Amino acid sequence: MAGGWASDGAVQEQIESTVDDAVRKARSRLPQGESLTHCEECEAPIPEGRRQAVPGVRLCINCQAAEDKTQNSSGMNRRASKDSLLR
């Protein structure tokens, strides 16, 4: 049961919204099209195994890891800072 000004289903709606946003974000980052033979960032060759495993791959493993790190650091925390309040 929600309290204050929130409706009864507000918590579940927030959870579903968070999941929907994450799915949308993940789908938008999926590679599309034909895989490149060389990284579009550093021009390093992309191994055949990686090109087969990840269709539409555009980055080598090192550049992809750096890209993933930057994208993960800008996430939204809808719980505000509840975890820090519990400490």
Q: pLDDT tens-digit profile of 10-57?
A: 888 999 999 999 999 988 877 778 999 999 999 999 999 999 988 899
Q: Note whether residue 66 is domain-resident.
A: yes
Q: Is 13 helix (H, G, I), strand (E, B) or coil?
A: helix
Q: What is the pLDDT of residues 51-85, one digit of tens each?
A: 998 889 999 999 999 988 887 665 555 555 555 55
Alpha helices in 30-57 (DSSP H): 48-53
Residue among 69, 78, 58, 67 nearest 10 (CA)? 78
Residue 57 domain-assigned (yes or no): yes
Assigned domain for 86 exists: no
Contact between 38 and 58 (Cβ < 8 Å): no
Token digits for 57? 């791959």
* Count of domains observed in the chain: 1
Identify whether 2 is part of a domain: no
* Cβ atoms 63, 42 nearer than 8 A: yes
Domain residue limits at 62? 35-71
